[in-house]
Chain A
């Protein structure tokens, strides 16, 4: 805060002016807020607070800028009260934070000039929002109707403007509210949604952050309500506004668009004519003010944040200082322009503005007030008119700046962005600084009003400063001309607003170029085209040339009647004579083209660190922009926003389209989906535009990524914009429709956000995968390339304990193939027991699986494990291996196929007791396989078993190849019992135990041949076994043991297995198992 204050002090007058503008913007916002708030304010407390705030603001504003104070005091009070009520808390907090943030951000912003471009874009978007805000009066009315939320939305709309102001200081409050509203509006969903929507792009981020910050404050009150209906409304309005503004900004096109926008506005506002009028006027003012002032701050902060480059910061600082001066100058300059506009629009208003605030800021304030006043509609109109004129002047001034920034940025985006960013940053800084100083007190007292007023003042100051900055900056010069153009554009925009307001005449007049009507008449696609064309412009000169060409084209098209029939989407862009090609311009262009202004910045890790600040800065910027929207900055931001939006959306849809759709949706009150879409788009825009801005404090990393992605994608966006892609995205997003709460909303937004959205999706849906996706975020979730997700192990440990995975495998704990080979060798030569080997083999298998290695090594591992399992009698484990081996062999991997098909047969015969399986596996055997010893043996065993030929069985048992013995082992008991039963039934009177022992394999062949001892061992074993099974054994006269078959035949039984365990699986009897296997 202190810093801010100092900064403010430094920038003092200028900043004040800026602040004024900002404040105005803020006021406008406030007014919007006020409206919204008012509607919400239904909550008396808030309104009261707001009113107080307003009063306070008014006073402060008055102190700062008599004009602003006037208007503010009068009109704003109510709105301010509401806003202040809401924002007061947030403002105070936000202001402080913002101040600090701003202070910090400013340098950063400077450094981040390139990023600033993004911010600009964002700002532009914000501007667009602002326009909406400017429109806000209308929107506000609509919002209020919508709900208190609606008011929020209005505030949300204001947010953009307010954001700038917020960023500065009190603007925070507004911004917060705005953001919240924005979120609401945009999101329909909720705050997030609002955020996205409001955050169109950069702003969105900003907003988000703000929203996050502010939300806490607002959320409970406004956010919720806002979210629902207002969000949609605001979004719609906003979008329209955006579009309009964008159009206006875009210049010719903007004019045209503006007209439409205004029309829309008017339509929307129709419900509350008064409101609409004020809103329009205020909105216009806001535009200029916010545009000029707020955006600068925001941009600066954004830029700094986004690009940590020191140079930028330096520049920003310089710019800020210069800006202050410049602002004044620009303001002055702008004022003429504005005046013209204003004059055209509202001579009367002019007077009022002039009275209230000679400074455009004042007018802004007036406008804001007017907006706030909405209730006092009569006043509003007048005030509005006055503000409008003033605003226009302010606008022009700001616009010039903005335009320069904007136009340049648009065409040049890079340069313009930077310039604009610089401007913005400076402006923001200035505002911020000022705000802190002046604001803080006011903020505390009257968050809204103060902010607004301050913002206005600061804007006024900043406006000049911005201009100065711009001027100072290489870009600025070009920007200045552009700004002029921009101003015209803003004027146009304002005019449309006016028109909508019902002061079409004045608007038209101000437009002078009859752009307003044109704007009304221009098709979206044309607006987009214009934006595209402007986006190419690298500097002001380019913009001017571009504008001229566009004007010619427009008039031609008009004359031809092809304006509406031509497919502007595919119309090739004309050649722009190179007025000045700066690297900056290039950057700007890139950024603009990309939509996400500065990918690098976004990508840069520095962003993250800054991100937190940036969001604030963005918010501030946004607020400023919102407030500034009145100023050139706003215009610039608008342009940028438009450009960005358009660019970003161009493929998908123009921002306008989005806005329109949103508007429509809003109008229809289809909040959810449309708004979502709008929000998504907005988000996209935000992402693209304000990759920097997008960087939220909380989600800094994510947002950064997204932004970075957005930047990346920006290039790809053109491709991604295709209708097909859009559809796909929508489909994709639909998948998440069912998602709950924020997530779902976010997802929605993200999907719509295009690539960026996609990234977001991923992030939200699978944070783990996000990392992987960062690089390839372009991939849709459905298109997931599992190859890219397959882990490549890096672990060099040969030994590894098996642990069932409960999460994605960590490459550092996964062994690569060559290590696994060593591990297998180690296991094969290990002297340890089966448990150890099984554990090791399982971990090897796991590593193979996660790395998707399916080759002969895999076969070896499974074969080794299967053999070990057979030796240990671990049938379940063997079955696992066997089923894997089956598919591995089927895939053509070489291995001991015969051996294992013999095992398979034996398994089917001895353990599954399923004749059909047995027949099937027999039928599968090839003639070649039937010649294999192991298979032949298995088939013979089968025959012996099916016929009950125990002699054959035990002979085969003794001659079993491989591990067939092990499988037969498991059947021996059963076979012996059956044999003894058979013998005791068929033999009479006795059978020598020796014979039984020999026949039933109790003695091995080797034993029989080698030593009698072993033979007797076998005999005794047989004796024991027979007794254990209930056989009756007698000793005959020769002393030979005989099996008394007649007695035994009825007394034989199958004893309970000694190793029986309660769970029925003896292999799980660890102790016994250990003894068996170790």
Chain B
């Protein structure tokens, strides 16, 4: 940290305060925005933080001038937050920032126009980022990380200030997305429901009015929620929307979307190209796709086991596990095709022992009863047309389209 003279420090702080109060008084949201971005590490803010560390009596400066003291409730904790952030005391920084944000929100409520929307965006972002850092700090010191939770409730407050008629409502979706991020991180996704409801049922929100950025994010998160609910059609629709509108330059975002979209598509019978998986580095799905193509149950189980942690964390494990039935279907279909090549007349009668043998070959140790059960399920789930004759232990397939394709429809359940 370069040496700063007291006078220089004073000058910088005063300049910052001036810029802040000028931005507020001239309703200039764009110039206010960078002043609030504590975690942006912008050189200006960094030098300001250094100045604050030298010139400790910034509160006096604020109190001295009416111009500052009017928004002193915002400025004072904000400076403290900047200072704390600079010395990497994130918990303190978060606490101070939340205090400042609360004061700012109070002011924001009183402003008719939405000029400060940019600033609110920054606050919503910063509050989350700072909370995450604070939680990391807390966790590393063995304390209970609870700041992100606090940030969640603060963001709900912000949402409340935005959701309503008027020009401010366009900001609601951004805050919603920040809330999603918090809730997904906390694992309290059930809390998303109320926000989603107010977004999707409130007439005042015309979804297309929102900024595209927020719409994509929103769709991504709601799509993920649908994946958890195994509501594949809705998930497909939302994630596809996100993928379609996502900035094609931001590959990381596309990858994140695909991470959920691929399993969803798989479960409705649509396989991705190898090129797609490679381009977006989704190699964990490669084996799954292969297994589906080959009807290789062993490969599928192996792939699932190999990437179990990752799939469990992203929450797609159960989705992928359900692909087993499709693999069985593929396997029986392959047997059927082979039989058809040998003896087309009897191809629609697949003996159970053949299937058991095939599974044995795949090193799947399953007895007849179990395979019989699987066949019954395949028929039951409409993955095979036909019936099972218990007496003769034979799967009798329909002569017409014995293995119907899903074609974008989920497996009956």
A-to-B contact residues, CB < 8 Å: 915-916, 918-920, 922-923, 943, 946-952, 981-983, 985-992, 995, 999
Contact = CB atoms under 8 A, between A and B. Distances in A.
Contacts of A950: 373
Given A916-B228, A920-B187, A949-B374, A985 B309 contact: no
Most chain B CB inside 10 Å of its own CB: which residue of A950, A983, A999: A983
17 contacts: A915-B229, A919-B315, A919-B317, A920-B187, A923-B312, A943-B321, A946-B321, A947-B322, A947-B377, A948-B377, A987-B387, A987-B388, A988-B388, A989-B389, A991-B390, A992-B390, A999-B373
B396 to A, nearest CB: 8
A319 B317 CA distance: 95
A946 B322 contact: yes
Contacts of B370: 949, 951-952
B264 interface: no
Contacts of A920: 187
Given A919-B318, A986-B387, A988-B389, A947 B309 contact: no
A952 B370 CA distance: 7
B229 A983 contact: no
Contacts of B324: 947
A915 B376 CA distance: 25
Interface string B290-332: 0000000000000000000100110101100110110000000
B390 A922 contact: no
Contacts of B377: 947-949, 982, 986
Contacts of B378: 986
B292 to A, nearest CB: 16
Given A952-B373, A985-B376, 7 more contacts: A919-B312, A947-B322, A986-B377, A987-B390, A991-B390, A995-B390, A999-B369
Nearest 10 CB-CB pairs, A to B?
A986-B379, A988-B387, A986-B376, A951-B373, A923-B312, A982-B380, A916-B228, A985-B380, A951-B370, A986-B388
Contacts of B312: 919, 922-923
Given A923-B313, A986-B375, A991-B390, A918 B318 contact: yes
B230 interface: yes
Interface string B36-75: 0000000000000000000000000000000000000000
A999 B324 CA distance: 22
Nearest to A991: B390
Contacts, number: 75
Main secondary structure on A side of the interface with B: helix
Most chain B CB inside 10 Å of its own CB: which residue of A918, A923, A991: A923
Contacts of B380: 948, 981-982, 985-986
A582 to B, nearest CB: 57
Interface string B74-106: 000000000000000000000000000000000
B199 interface: no
Interface string B209-246: 00000000000000000001110000000000000000
A946 B318 contact: yes
Contacts of B228: 915-916, 919
Nearest to A925: B312
A14 to B, nearest CB: 67
B376 A983 contact: yes
Interface of B: 187, 189, 228-230, 309, 312-313, 315, 317-318, 321-322, 324-325, 369-370, 372-381, 387-390, 396
Contacts of B379: 985-986
Contact of A947 (B230, B325, B372): B325
Contacts of B388: 986-988
A873 B147 CA distance: 39
A990 B317 CA distance: 37
A915 B318 contact: yes
B220 to A, nearest CB: 17
Contacts of A981: 380
A923 B375 CA distance: 30
Most chain A CB inside 10 Å of its own CB: which residue of B315, B325, B375, B380: B380
Contact of A990 (B315, B390, B396): B390
Contacts of B381: 948
B55 to A, nearest CB: 29
A948 B187 CA distance: 28
Nearest to A983: B376
Nearest to A995: B390
Contacts of B369: 951, 999
Contacts of B230: 915
Most chain A CB inside 10 Å of its own CB: which residue of B189, B313, B373, B387: B373
Nearest to A923: B312
A949 B364 CA distance: 15
A272 to B, nearest CB: 45
Nearest to A984: B380
Contacts of A989: 389
A941 to B, nearest CB: 14
A108 to B, nearest CB: 58
A952 B369 CA distance: 9
B138 to A, nearest CB: 17
A362 B229 CA distance: 97
Most chain A CB inside 10 Å of its own CB: which residue of B230, B374, B375, B377: B377
Contacts of B390: 987, 990-992, 995
Contacts of B309: 923
Contact of B376 (A916, A918, A987, A990): A987
Most chain B CB inside 10 Å of its own CB: which residue of A950, A952, A987, A991: A987
A863 to B, nearest CB: 26
Contacts of A985: 376, 379-380
A999 B374 CA distance: 13
Nearest to B187: A920
Contacts of A923: 309, 312-313
A205 B204 CA distance: 66
A989 B372 CA distance: 15
B399 to A, nearest CB: 15
Contacts of A943: 321
A28 B373 CA distance: 107
Most chain B CB inside 10 Å of its own CB: which residue of A919, A943, A950, A990: A919
B373 A949 contact: yes
A995 B391 CA distance: 11
Contacts of B189: 916
Contacts of A988: 387-389, 396
A949 B322 CA distance: 12
B38 to A, nearest CB: 32
A982 B387 CA distance: 11
B139 to A, nearest CB: 14
A983 B379 CA distance: 9
Contacts of A918: 318
Nearest to B373: A951
B344 to A, nearest CB: 22
A987 B375 CA distance: 10
A950 B318 CA distance: 18
A949 B369 CA distance: 11
B347 to A, nearest CB: 18
Contacts of A922: 312, 317
A989 B387 CA distance: 9
Contacts of B315: 915-916, 919
Nearest to B324: A947
A981 B373 CA distance: 12
A761 B397 CA distance: 85
A992 B393 CA distance: 13
Nearest to A948: B377
A947 B373 CA distance: 11
A92 to B, nearest CB: 62
Nearest to B189: A916
B317 A982 contact: no
Contacts of A948: 377, 380-381
Contacts of A990: 390
A17 B322 CA distance: 107
A983 B378 CA distance: 11
Contacts of B376: 982-983, 985-987
